């Protein structure tokens, strides 16, 4: 207690140095935890691109391929699911809901997803967050479209704007569906998922813009105007993939094997979490890079912290001789130095954590909107070992001058050397 | 050296005065031989026991930089018995009475309340700081006072006045004094005088 009050009074004397040291420690802790949080959340965000969906079903290919084209909009589907198969899956007793996905059209590089309004209800991401509308509402008219936040940001679209879809996914000379323009009915809030860079329309709309098409070519002499198409049978013949929700997660494997063994068509059902995990292995080098950055930050942060603490403690050699002379043991002197570095470290850690929380809170929306990065405010599990490490190193930093003071007091007696 | 006696120790620089004080204070351990002090032998004590012995029985005054600048003068004086229950008891026992004793010592050594109650330790003059340091060394009436050239930073008149007050206060408690200085003019204040160059092994 006596040592603690001495330490505190001594630190009060050196306010500027103490503040600087705490600031250095705080910055180190901020960087360390920040990198760790970004790393964890990038992984977490990726792993929960689709959440709340129990099965993802498409034509038979590989799980990663299916995930890539159905969710990440990378590559093209090798095959479709017939409308009948979709209806069969829908009517399975274990199935609670299905959301069909029909891909293949685009608008200025952004992919168009044909789906139902259930998409906005059942598609969840992150920790079960549903899609939210920044402006407008889901599609209600046949020629309504809902755009993702990234589409709105890059193309400066707003609710009420008219857009024309293109047939196909890219390339120079896309045939356009200019005869059937769409009206933007809503803009989604940023999610950090591929939904941000996509446009959602109804399944019937996809069917309508293709009524006078066959095998990718517009049939001459069979043109149907936008209004004529409204009165035609717009039941889709096929969809690309479907999200499936079950009444009970426990039946996931049973339903999965039932779909995989579907006799009328080769289908593939995958558990999104498992497939995402496999995909993460492919793109995992990014995480490894972040790990390396994290290690470097640790190194630099720790040495900065040690330098600051050592410099601070070096100032106290004069005190040590005085304390020794009045009977303080070498142990007490040692304890004094370790106590100071521990106090400084703890204060720095607290400041660093607060700084990180403040900045993530402030930057949260900006990061989500610009980078699609969801940074969580709650500490990542990897942060605790880091904090323990920082504390241990901080206390250890006090041991070095403590040990020097110990050695010196044994060697020099009570002479004060400056 | 008998109890209550005062000893003046002089010698040229590098003759081992400070080392001898270190040995007497029990901070340094002799490479050979033993130190007998106040009927105790440092040779048979561990470092921790010597620390406690120093806290209980010895007062020490440095040449310079005696005080902790972040404490008040009175707190600095109280530090003298902070590590010793024995000296705390002799200085009054309770915190209030120890503060009283510290203030009395400061006054006896020529520092009035108007000086120590207002100024921070760091704002005191060197002479005033040495008085606070002396008060700390005498707090709780140690048996032996070790002083390492405490007057070297003072001018001749304040030096003599300081020394007189210091020795008077020591006489009050029966405290023995070992006073190291290269200033032979001070020798007349002491019972005995020893030149270190001619007596290299002294205890």
| Gyration radius (Cα) of chain B, Å | 16
Q: How open is the CA angle B70-B76-B80, to the nearest 5 degrees?
A: 145
Return the higher-pLDDT residue of A56 and A7.
A56
Q: List the domain boundaries for chain B.
A: 19-29+36-174
Token pair of A308 as six digits:
């600051």
Contact B67 A322 (CB under 8 A): yes
* Beta partners for residue B147, in sequence order: B61, B179
Q: What is the mean pLDDT of residues A5-20?
A: 83
For chain A, give the mean pLDDT.
Answer: 82
Cα(B108)–Cα(B103) distance, rounded to whole angstroms?
A: 9
Give me the pLDDT at residue A351, please: 93
Label residue A274 by pLDDT band (50, 70, 90). Answer: confident
Give the tens place of pLDDT for each residue, A124-172. 887 778 888 988 889 888 899 999 988 998 899 989 998 888 887 765 5
Q: Give the number of other CB atoms < 10 A from CB of residue B64.
A: 16
Give me the pLDDT at residue A226, please: 74
Give me the pLDDT at residue A200, please: 93
Label residue B88 by pLDDT band (50, 70, 90). Answer: confident
Q: Give the number of other CB atoms < 10 A from CB of residue A97.
A: 15
Label residue A350 by pLDDT band (50, 70, 90). Answer: very high
Give me the pLDDT at residue A417, please: 47
A189: DSSP letter:
P
Q: What is the H or E stretch that residue A194 is in?
A: none
Give me the pLDDT at residue A87, please: 92
A197: DSSP letter:
G
Return the higher-pLDDT residue of A320 and A163.
A163
Q: What is the mean pLDDT of residues A197-206?
A: 91
Strand runs (DSSP E) across B106-162, as ranges? 144-148
Return the higher-pLDDT residue of A81 and B11.
A81
Label residue A83 by pLDDT band (50, 70, 90). Answer: very high
Label residue A311 by pLDDT band (50, 70, 90). Answer: confident
CB pairs under 8 A between A and B: 83
Number of DSSP helices (H) and strands (E) in chain B, helices first: 8, 7
Cα(B187)–Cα(A34) distance, rounded to whole angstroms?
A: 68
Q: What is the mean pLDDT of residues B81-105?
A: 81
Say if residue B145's pLDDT is above 80. yes
Does residue A135 contact residue A186 with C-beta atoms inside 8 Å?
yes
**Residue B168, class by beta-carbon neighbours within 10 Å (0-12 exposed, 13-18 middle, 19+ buried)?**
exposed
Measured in degrees and rounded to the nearest 5, phi and psi for residue A73 equal 60, 40
| ipTM, two decimals | 0.78
CATH superfamily ID and name for B19-29+36-174? P-loop containing nucleotide triphosphate hydrolases (3.40.50.300)
Give me the pLDDT at residue A418, please: 41
**Most confident among A233-247, A398-412, B8-22, B77-91 (mean pLDDT):** A233-247
* Beta partners for residue A163, in sequence order: A182
List helix spans (H) across A14-111. Answer: 15-47, 63-70, 83-90
Give me the pLDDT at residue A86, please: 92
Q: Which of B50, B53, B60, B85 to mutate to test the interface with A (most CBs of A within 10 A)?
A: B60
Give the tens place of pLDDT for each residue, A248-269. 888 889 999 999 998 888 999 9
Q: Which of A322, A332, A416 sits opposite B68 (nearest CB)?
A: A322
Does residue B5 contact residue B190 with C-beta atoms inside 8 Å?
no
Return the higher-pLDDT residue of A24 and A304.
A24
Is A332's Cβ below 8 Å from some Cβ in B?
yes
The residue behind tokens 């509308």 is: A133
Contact B62 A321 (CB under 8 A): yes
Q: Which of B16, B54, B149 to mutate to test the interface with A (most CBs of A within 10 A)?
A: B54
Strand runs (DSSP E) across chain B, as ranges? 6-10, 36-37, 40-41, 58-61, 144-148, 176-180, 192-195
Q: Which of B21, B28, B83 sits opposite A328 (nearest CB)?
A: B83
Say if residue B116's pLDDT is above 50. yes
Interface list for chain B against chain A, based on CB atoms closer than 8 Å? 18-19, 21-23, 25, 27-29, 47-48, 51-52, 54-56, 58, 60, 62, 64-71, 79-80, 82-84, 136, 148
Token pair of A55 as six digits:
């099965």
Is A407's Cβ below 8 Å from some Cβ in B?
no
- How many Cα neighbours within 13 Å face the side chain of B153? 15
Cα(A135)–Cα(A147) distance, rounded to whole angstroms?
A: 10
Does residue A244 contact residue A88 with C-beta atoms inside 8 Å?
no
**Alpha carbon of B192 to those of A18, B189, B195: distances in Å?**
49, 9, 10
List helix spans (H) across A71-216. Answer: 83-90, 119-122, 149-155, 203-209
Cα(A358)–Cα(A342) distance, rounded to whole angstroms?
A: 24
Scanning A205-244 for CB atoms below 8 A from B yields: none
Lowest mean pLDDT among A339-348, B43-52, B177-186: B43-52
Does residue A294 contact residue A302 with C-beta atoms inside 8 Å?
no
Q: Which of B79, B86, B153 to mutate to test the interface with A (most CBs of A within 10 A)?
A: B79
Return the higher-pLDDT residue of A234 and A268.
A268
Give me the pLDDT at residue B202, please: 47
Helix axes A330-371, A2-13, angle to 10 degrees: 60
Beta strands A129-130; A124-125: pairing state: antiparallel
Give me the pLDDT at residue A373, please: 67
Contacts 24+ apart (CB under 8 A), B96-103: B98/B139, B99/B74, B101/B139, B101/B140, B102/B74, B102/B77, B102/B78, B102/B135, B102/B139, B103/B74
**Most confident among A334-348, B85-99, B118-132, B146-160 (mean pLDDT):** A334-348
Lowest mean pLDDT among A309-323, B59-73, B93-107, B157-171: A309-323
Say if residue B32's pLDDT is above 50. yes
Say if residue A186's pLDDT is above 80. yes
Cα(B44)–Cα(B24) distance, rounded to whole angstroms?
A: 14
Cα(A363)–Cα(A359) distance, rounded to whole angstroms?
A: 6
The residue behind tokens 């409204």 is: A230
Cα(A309)–Cα(A400) distance, rounded to whole angstroms?
A: 10
Label residue A408 by pLDDT band (50, 70, 90). Answer: low
Beta strands B144-148; B176-180: pairing state: parallel
The residue behind tokens 């899956």 is: A89
Say if residue A184's pLDDT is above 90. yes
Return the higher-pLDDT residue of A121 and A288.
A121
Chain A partners within 8 Å of B79 (Cβ): 322-323, 326
pTM of the model: 0.69
Does residue B20 contact residue B195 with C-beta atoms inside 8 Å?
no
DSSP-based three-state secondary structure for B110: coil
Cα(A374)–Cα(A158) distance, rounded to whole angstroms?
A: 24
Give me the pLDDT at residue B49, please: 82
Closest to B52 (Cα-Cα) out of A399, A7, A331, A2:
A331
Q: Which of B21, B27, B61, B77 to mutate to test the interface with A (most CBs of A within 10 A)?
A: B27
Q: Which of B70, B136, B148 sits opposite A326 (nearest CB)?
A: B136
Cα(A302)–Cα(A307) distance, rounded to whole angstroms?
A: 8
List helix spans (H) across A60-144. Answer: 63-70, 83-90, 119-122
The proportion of chain B whose per-residue pLDDT surpasses 70, expressed as a percent, equals: 94
């Amino acid at each position: 207690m006596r040592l603690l009050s001495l330490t505190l009074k001594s630190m009060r004397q050196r306010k500027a140095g103490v503040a600087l040291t705490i600031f250095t420690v705080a910055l180190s802790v901020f960087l360390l935890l920040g990198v760790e949080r970004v790393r964890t959340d990038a992984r977490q965000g990726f792993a929960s691109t689709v959440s709340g969906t129990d099965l993802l079903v498409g034509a038979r290919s590989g799980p990663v391929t299916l995930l890539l084209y159905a969710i990440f909009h990378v590559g093209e589907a090798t095959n479709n699911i017939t409308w009948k198969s979709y209806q069969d899956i829908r009517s399975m007793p274990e199935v609670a809901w299905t959301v069909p996905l029909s891909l293949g059209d685009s608008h200025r590089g952004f992919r168009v997803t044909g789906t139902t309004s259930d998409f906005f209800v059942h598609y969840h991401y992150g920790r079960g967050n549903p899609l939210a509308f920044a402006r407008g509402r889901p599609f209600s008219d046949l020629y309504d479209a809902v755009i993702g936040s990234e589409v709105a940001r890059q193309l400066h679209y707003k609710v009420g704007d008219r857009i024309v879809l293109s047939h196909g996914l890219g390339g120079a000379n896309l045939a356009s569906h200019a005869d059937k323009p769409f009206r933007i009915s809503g803009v989604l809030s940023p999610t950090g998922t591929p939904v941000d860079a996509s446009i959602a329309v109804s399944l019937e709309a996809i069917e309508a813009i293709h009524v006078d098409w066959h095998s990718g070519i517009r049939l001459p002499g069979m043109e149907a105007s936008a209004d004529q198409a409204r009165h035609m049978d717009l039941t889709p013949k096929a969809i690309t993939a479907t999200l499936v929700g079950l009444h009970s997660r426990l039946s996931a494997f049973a339903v999965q094997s039932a779909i995989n063994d579907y006799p009328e068509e080769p289908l593939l059902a995958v558990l999104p979490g498992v497939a995402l995990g496999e995909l993460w292995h492919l793109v995992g080098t990014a995480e490894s890079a972040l790990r390396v950055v994290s290690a470097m930050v640790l190194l630099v942060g720790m040495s900065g912290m040690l330098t600051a603490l050592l410099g601070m403690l070096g100032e106290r050699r004069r005190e040590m001789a005085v304390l020794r002379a009045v009977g303080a043991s070498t142990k007490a002197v040692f304890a004094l130095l370790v106590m100071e570095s521990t106090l400084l470290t703890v204060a720095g850690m607290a400041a660093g954590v607060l700084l990180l929380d403040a900045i993530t809170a402030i930057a949260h929306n900006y990061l989500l909107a610009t980078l699609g990065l969801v940074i969580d405010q709650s500490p990542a599990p990897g942060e605790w070992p880091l904090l323990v490490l920082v504390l241990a190193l901080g206390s250890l930093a006090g041991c070095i001058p403590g040990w020097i003071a110990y050695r010196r007091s044994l060697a020099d007696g009570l002479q004060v050397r400056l | 050296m008998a109890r209550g006696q005062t000893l003046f120790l002089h010698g040229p620089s590098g003759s081992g005065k400070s080392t001898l004080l270190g040995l007497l204070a029990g901070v340094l351990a002799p490479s050979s031989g033993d130190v007998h002090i106040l009927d105790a032998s440092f040779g048979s004590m561990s470092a921790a026991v010597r620390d406690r012995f120093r806290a209980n029985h010895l007062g020490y005054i440095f040449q310079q930089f005696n005080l902790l600048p972040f404490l008040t003068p009175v707190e600095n004086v109280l530090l003298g018995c902070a590590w010793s229950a024995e000296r705390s008891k002799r200085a009054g026992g309770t915190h209030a009475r120890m503060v009283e004793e510290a203030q009395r010592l400061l006054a006896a050594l020529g520092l009035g309340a108007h000086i120590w109650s207002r100024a921070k330790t760091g704002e005191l003059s060197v002479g005033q700081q040495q008085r606070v340091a002396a008060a700390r060394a005498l707090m709780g009436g140690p048996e032996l006072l070790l002083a390492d050239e405490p007057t070297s930073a003072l001018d001749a008149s304040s030096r003599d006045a300081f020394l007189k007050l210091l020795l008077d206060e020591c006489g009050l408690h029966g405290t023995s004094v070992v006073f190291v200085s290269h200033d032979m003019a001070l020798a007349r204040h002491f019972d005995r005088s020893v030149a270190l160059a001619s007596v290299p092994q002294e205890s």
